[in-house]
Amino acid sequence: MSHIRGRFQKAAHRLVVDYTSSLSFDRRLYRQDIAGSIAHARMLAKQGIISAKDAGAITGGLAAIEKEIEEGSFKFKPELEDIHMAIEARLTEKIGEAGGRLHTARSRNDQVVLGLRLFTRDAIGDTIEAVRGLQRALVTLAEANKDTVMPGYTHLQRAQPVLLAHHLMAYFEMLQRDIGRLEDCLKRTDVMPLGSGALAGVAYDIDRKFLARELGFGSISRNSMDAVSDRDFVVDYAAAASTCMMHLSRLSEEIILWASVEFAFIELDDAYATGSSIMPQKKNPDVAELIRGKTGRVYGNLMALLTMLKALPLAYNRDLQEDKEALFAAVDTLLPSLEIMAGMVSTIKVKAGQTGEAIERGYILATDLADYLVGKGLAFRAAHEVVARLVNYAAGEGKTLRELNLDEYRRFSPLFTDDVYAITAEASVSARDVPGGTAPRQVARALAVAKKIVGGFESEK
CB 23 within 8 A of CB 86: yes
Dist CA 218 CA 283 (whole Å): 50
Whether 276 sits among the annotated catalytic residues: the reply is yes
Domains belonging to the chain, first-starting first, are 14-104 (1.10.275.10), 109-353 (1.20.200.10), 357-454 (1.10.40.30)
pLDDT of residue 10: 82
pLDDT of residue 362: 82
The runs of H, that is alpha helices, within 310-379 are: 323-346, 352-361, 366-375
In this structure, how many other beta carbons lie within 10 angstroms of the beta carbon of residue 380? 11
Catalytic residue among 73, 155, 277, 459: 155
Rounded to 5 degrees, φ, ψ at 256 are -60, -45
Q: Which has the closest alpha carbon to 438: 245, 210, 197, 159?
A: 159
> Would you give per-residue pLDDT tens digits along the chain (461 residues)?
455 556 777 888 888 888 888 999 999 999 999 999 999 999 999 999 999 999 999 999 999 999 999 999 999 988 888 999 999 999 999 999 999 999 999 999 999 999 999 999 999 999 999 999 999 999 999 999 999 999 999 999 999 999 999 999 999 999 999 999 999 999 999 999 999 999 999 999 999 999 999 999 999 999 999 999 999 999 999 999 999 999 999 999 999 999 999 999 999 999 999 988 888 888 999 999 999 999 999 999 999 999 999 999 999 999 999 999 999 999 999 999 999 999 999 999 999 999 999 998 889 999 999 999 999 999 999 999 999 999 999 999 999 999 999 999 999 999 999 999 999 999 999 999 999 999 999 999 999 999 999 998 875 44
pTM, full prediction: 0.94
Whether 107 sits among the annotated catalytic residues: the reply is no
Q: Please, which residues have CB within 8 angstroms of residue 412's CB and are 6 or more apart in sequence?
A: 386, 387, 389, 390, 393
pLDDT of residue 32: 98
Q: Which has the closest alpha carbon to 239: 171, 294, 297, 298?
A: 298
pLDDT of residue 11: 82
pLDDT of residue 5: 59
pLDDT of residue 422: 95
- What is the tens place of the pLDDT at every residue in 122-158? 999 999 999 999 999 999 999 999 999 999 999 999 9
C-alpha distances (whole Å) from 12 to each of 1, 73, 183, 206, 321 are: 12, 27, 43, 34, 18
Dist CA 405 CA 385 (whole Å): 20
Catalytic residue among 24, 219, 260, 276: 276
Q: Which has the closest alpha carbon to 110: 234, 214, 24, 225?
A: 225
pLDDT of residue 18: 83
Dist CA 174 CA 152 (whole Å): 17
User: What is the DSSP track for 281-316?
Assistant: T--B-HHHHHHHHHHHHHHHHHHHHHHHHTTPPSS-
